[in-house]
Amino acid sequence: MESGTWASYVAAWLATVALILLSTHLRRRRKLNLPPGPKPWPIIGNLNLIGALPHRSIHELSQKYGPIMQLRFGSFPVVVGSSVAMAKLFLKTHDVTFASRPKTAAGKYTTYNYSDITWSPYGPYWRQARKMCLMELFSARRLESYEYIRVEETKSLLSSLYKQSNSPVDLKDHLSTVSLNVISRMVLGKKYLDENVEGSIVTPEEFKKMLDELFLLSGVLNIGDSIPWIDFLDLQGYVKRMKVLSKKFDRFLEHVLDEHNARRKGVENYVAKDMVDVLLQFADDPTLEVKLERHGVKAFTQDLIAGGTESSAVTVEWAISELLRKPELFDKATEELDRVIGKERWVEEKDIPNLPYLDTIVKETMRMHPVAPMLVPRFSREDIKIADYDIPKDTRVLVNVWTIGRDPEIWDQPNEFIPERFIGKNIDVKGQDFELLPFGTGRRMCPGYSLGLKVIQSSLANLLHGFKWKLPGDMKPGDLSMEEIFGLSTPKKIPLVAMAEPRLPAHLYDM
Ligand code: HEM
């Protein structure tokens, strides 16, 4: 055959293959019935539509495209559910299909290559981790055994506020000290961060900054996660920050593990004194289905400290801020506290079930300010049909609980803080009622929810019982900024500064 004939033969053959491939691709695309959504741009997809507060941008889009919509973040499809019905389909009916997490730079660099609980993909390692949480770390018995720690730390918060009575205080700073101390003592066995305690290698201020940075970096939209081929450019500088942060955490965690191992060494039938001890015992267990390595113990420990510290402080700060905007609600709360508790003692955990108005304040705060407004992203493990739409395997899934919390079909005046809306309603925050899911629900639901709730309820109850709260100077309720910052948690952009005036007899603050 002549070379010209060969060339036309090869060209014809290539064209046929290309046509077959194209038509298969088109047939497949035509066959897929994807959820509605805005038209994506090449390369960036719909990232141009996402602002600094992604839950709000996505909320706006869902008002246009409906309760199930498809976006593209760079080259990745992202499906968003924004109604009770969709939350039920994603997190209950088909929970197991969506029980994985997408791989992100945050998971890779800040959690020992997805070795923690939050970012580990669905599989035996993660299932084993959840079993450890359920049976050991967060069992009702263990949480109860640590009640004395929560009591001591709450008292220390109240007495430090008393010392600063009637002068402006940064409330979240005080609150995160309490939750950090509570969680450090439960997880690590002591306040590693207390400068006065032997073994402290990071100051509390530095550590709180590390936690704020961890939450921010775990929630940010890192461009490289959406457009992998420009990942190496690290355009926003987030990956560099993640690497710096993980080194700081590692130095701290190495120190904690060394100390714990030294304490256990050579002691027969050692009884675990804190959660790190429990994890190290799991790491020694040869019968575990999946070996828990040293980096796994460090990753779990970091998860517990991070999960336990930031979220409760953020929620209580929002609660007091909302109340300061509607001072008349303070009177209702204190009327209940004075009636049920009286003025001669502090609120204890066992009193919480007798404080229904306080409960409505906590629920209303979590409705309007869910700590994770779109939960933590899920990831589909197989092709599936949801509400007649095709959701292919490897799709990222967000459930916008912020939108559900502000849905006018469910809530009257959804943008108003009205705790009374929960009176007489059987709606709880524990994953059964899909209109209120601050802790998520299903297999990936927050394993620390009962601890988180205990800390929130008892610190808020005592803040309201012990003090009359005011804004500083001549600031008016309407002047208080309610802006947010987006990250894995959504704290106030401008921290609340308020003044506390004692309302109980002086001797009660002498603790
Ligand atoms: C106000 C308190 C808290 C709130 C609002 C909260 C909220 C959440 C949310 C929304 C999720 C994701 C659920 C999902 O993907 O569907 C989550 C997961 C998680 N939370 Fe919490 N949390 C709180 C307290 C805690 C505490 C006290 C701890 C531990 C000490 C903790 C540890 C975790 C962990 C390890 C996960 C990952 C679970 C997994 O992926 O399997 N959280 N939390």
Q: What is the mean pLDDT of residues 152-159?
A: 94
pLDDT for the residue numbered 396: 97
Ligand 1 nearest-atom number relative to CA 101: 40
Distance 501 CA to ligand 1 centre (A): 33
Ligand 1 nearest-atom number relative to CA 315: 1
**Each residue of 238-276: pLDDT tens digit?**
999 999 999 999 999 999 999 999 999 989 889 999 999
Supply the pTM of this predicted model. 0.91
- Which residue has the least CA distance to atom 38 on ligand 1? 118
Question: Can you state the percent helix, strand and coil of the chain, rounding each to 5?
Answer: 55, 10, 40
- Answer yes or no: is the C-beta of 306 below 6 A from any ligand 1 atom: no
| 3-state secondary structure labels for all residues of 376-399 | CCEECCCCEEECCEEECCCCEEEE
- Written out in words, the top-level CATH class of the domain with range 32-509 is mainly alpha
* pLDDT surpassing 70 at residue 13: no
Distance 294 CA to ligand 1 centre (A): 22
Residue 446 counted as an annotated binding residue? yes
Residue of 273, 245, 247, 246 whose CA lies nearest to 259: 273
pLDDT for the residue numbered 511: 78
Structural element, H or E, at residue 329: helix 328-340
- Answer yes or no: is the C-beta of 455 below 6 A from any ligand 1 atom: no
Choose one of 175, 178, 446 to mutate for the ligand 1 pocket test, by most ligand atoms within 8 angstroms of C-beta.
446
pLDDT band at 176 (very low <50, low <70, confident <90, very high): confident
Q: Which pair of structure tokens corresponds to residue 331?
A: 């009177």
Please report how the helices 294-325 and 124-132 are oriented relative to each other, as an axis angle in degrees rounded to 10: 60
Ligand 1 nearest-atom number relative to CA 366: 5
- Answer yes or no: is the C-beta of 45 below 6 A from any ligand 1 atom: no
* pLDDT surpassing 90 at residue 136: no
Please report how the helices 449-466 and 294-325 are oriented relative to each other, as an axis angle in degrees rounded to 10: 40
- Which residue has the least CA distance to atom 43 on ligand 1? 446
- Which residue has the least CA distance to atom 16 on ligand 1? 440
Q: What is the mean pLDDT of residues 368-394?
A: 97
Domain ranges of the chain: 32-509
Q: Which pair of structure tokens corresponds to residue 339?
A: 């009636």
Report CA-CA distances (Å) from 436 to 77, 244, 433. 26, 36, 6
The DSSP letter of residue 270 is P
